[in-house]
Structure 1
Amino acid sequence: MARVGLTTERLVQAGAELADEVGFDQATVSALARRFDVKVASLYSHLKNSHDLKTKIALLALSELADRAAAALAGRAGKDALAAFAHTYRDYAREHPGRYAAAQFRLDPEAAAASAGGRHAQMTRAILRGYDLAEPDQTHAVRLLGSVFHGFVSLELAGGFSHSAPDSQETWAWTLDRLDAMLRSRPAP
């Protein structure tokens, strides 16, 4: 029997908050049960196991991030759109490190198909239309942008840029300028 007041949505939200506080790997059904001061068994009417919880947190994170990115991209094009998209990812990772980690969680094919992951790819491709890239260059560029954004953010969150000058913000701006210049310099088909 489900405990009064506990819903799947409430548990997933609490799991996402827990992931931000202690790390995505530590967001488990057991940790969630401790947070609500209930027995683990009382959560099983809402969650199958910790993998199910992690999947649901990942889906939430992908959706939140897609919503933020869509809002940031509205009415923008070219470098302005590229920068807005990049800043959205970086800001989200800084505000919600556990959820950002969850957004990288490998989903099974069915969950991936139902996720907001496709929206992320569509938005990236929409940005790249301003650079007039044909296939396969467009797919290469989608992968490049994802790799650069994720790599930079992951290193920054881990403190990788905190021990040397220049400031990471300066490097971030430099990186976005260089990405824009590289995408613009690609010969049109």
Structure 2
Amino acid sequence: MILAFDTSTAACTVALFDGSGECIARADEQIGRGHAERLVPMIDELLDGRRADRIIVGVGPGSFTGIRVAIAAAYGLAIGWGAEIKGMSSLALLAADANDDGQVGVAVAGGHGELFVQQFDGATLRPTIELRNLRPSDAAQEINATLVIGSGALQLVDCRGSGVAREAWPSAANTLRLPEELRSLPARPVYARAPDARAKQAA
């Protein structure tokens, strides 16, 4: 079985797939904060005594704290189960929710008023524009897809003055719809910008 989860946004999303790739259980909650307290109980409820031999975890970009919570949980479970662990693009997971064969822009609110943005081919879910971290005005020039989804979609569309904005959250149930290369990433954070917290320089 495959266990997939993502906590890169305000959502906490978990899905379990059987050996044929069918999603046999899922849970999606928009919790805002508190991923560290909610994720493991959600996984436990979903598994109901079962265990997975492969774990796919959302590696961002998105909330620094949320990403770290998910990856730490994934490694803990993988060690306990002897399971394989892989990362997946959290923005591609969002694009999968669009269910649109055209170009799909994804915009997620980041820190300092900036947006994490990327554009995907809705049919293949492969990126057509590289991942960027930009001010909304710059993101509006970068993303040309009519449909933009994510927590920063409305902000981007407002800056651009055209398009359709759809607030959306990742759902782990879409994990196996992603191209193999976007769900076989190293299980380490994709921040897209430097974390705010920095190590102190030696005196």
- Common fold: TM-score over 0.5: no
TM class by smaller structure: under 0.3
TM-score normalised over the length of structure 1: 0.28
Going by fraction, where is strand more abundant, 1 or 2?
2
- Greater share of helix: 1
- TM-score, reference length from structure 2: 0.27
Which structure has the bigger radius of gyration?
Answer: 1
